[in-house]
Structure 1
Amino acid sequence: MKCTVNWNHNNGMLFVASTGSGHVTVMDGAVEGGGNDSAPRPMEMLLAGAGGCAAYDVVLILKRGRHAVTDCQVSLVAERADTDPKVFTQIHFAFIVSGKDLPENAVERAVKLSHDKYCSASAMLGKTANITYSVEIRNS
């Protein structure tokens, strides 16, 4: 896996990341840090990546189990250390999984498997943060 991050020095603290898979994303800093607040902060991107990784796992596990999942949302709330490096110390993943007749045990299992086994991002962040999760199921 590769990624190149370039500083766009004409725009304060704007950084452009180009991924090995050919995609581009932008990050910026807060105004008080010299940025223009025009894009997510790098740590927000890290948190979003963990949410995407976990949600991906949950949907894939449910689909492989032939469950009729129609939506998966995960909201993350994180706390950071007060001193540098300001690592994440607490992260809560709140999942809302929707579908047709989704069995509670299958959804709970998918979230647990993501948390315990598959989500690489959560595993790395779990080295500094206490990670918790909750699950809400919306059946139609």
Structure 2
Amino acid sequence: MKARVKWTENAAFVAESGSGHALVVDGPPEIGGRNLGPRPMELVLMGVGACSAVDVTLILKKSRQAVDDCWVELEADRAETEPKVFTAIRMHFVVVGQNLAENHVKRAVELSAEKYCSASIMLGRGGVSISHSYEIRQSA
């Protein structure tokens, strides 16, 4: 895997993935940023959420669950002092579908947390406390 992050101005950078996608990363105004994009640590948090959400939806589809929507809401705590690493991440999955089996949803979240989501497993091994919860909503 490769990536490139190039400075554009002030606290703004363009991050380019090896797969050819790009996004602007920027800092807050107090360090010279113009708020043009997410902060680097926000990207880390979003990456963890995306990694796990992909797992959960794929596992549920393989289990033949009728998933219509899925998202994960994330909250993170950071250390008070530098380096302000994540100390805790709370992940709450919302899975929407027709007659979803709770045991399948629970198992999908567990498998992502324990076996498949390399991002959350890596952070967990680095000392970040990561918790997972879920709710199931019936499609309209």
TM-score category (smaller protein): over 0.9
CA contact (8 A) 1:87 1:128 kept: no
Pairs within 5 Å for 1:65-76: 65-76=63-74
Q: Which residue of 1 aligns with 2:6?
A: 6
Classify the secondary structure of the residue corresponding to 2:71.
Answer: strand
Q: Which amino acid aligns with 1:69?
A: V
User: How far 1:132 moved relative to its partner?
Assistant: 0.5
Secondary structure of 1:37's counterpart equals coil
Q: Which secondary structure does the structure 2 equivalent of 1:38 belong to?
A: coil
Match of 1:139 in 2: 138
Show structure 1 runs of 4+ deviating over 4 A: none
The answer on 1:124 being equivalent to 2:114 is no
Root-mean-square deviation over aligned CA pairs: 0.8
In structure 1, give the amino acid aligned to 2:134. Answer: V
Query: Post-superposition shift, 1:37?
Result: 1.2
- Percent identity between matched residues is 56
CA distance in 1, matches of 2:65, 2:83: 42
What SS does the corresponding residue of 2:46 show, helix, strand or coil? helix
CA distance in 1: counterparts of 2:69 and 2:133, whole angstroms = 16
**Alpha-carbon distance in structure 2 between the residues aligned to 1:20 and 1:2:** 5
The alignment partner of 1:71 has SS state of: strand
1:1-140 superposed matches below 5 A: 1-9=1-9, 12-126=10-124, 127-140=126-139
Unpaired stretches in structure 1, ≥5 consecutive residues: none
Q: Take 2:138 and 2:110, find their aligned partners in 1: how far apart are those partners?
A: 19
The number of residue pairs the alignment matches comes to 138
Deviation at 1:128, TM superposition (A): 2.5
Aligned-residue offset at 1:83:
1.2
Given the two structures, how large is their TM-score scaled by the length of structure 2?
A: 0.96
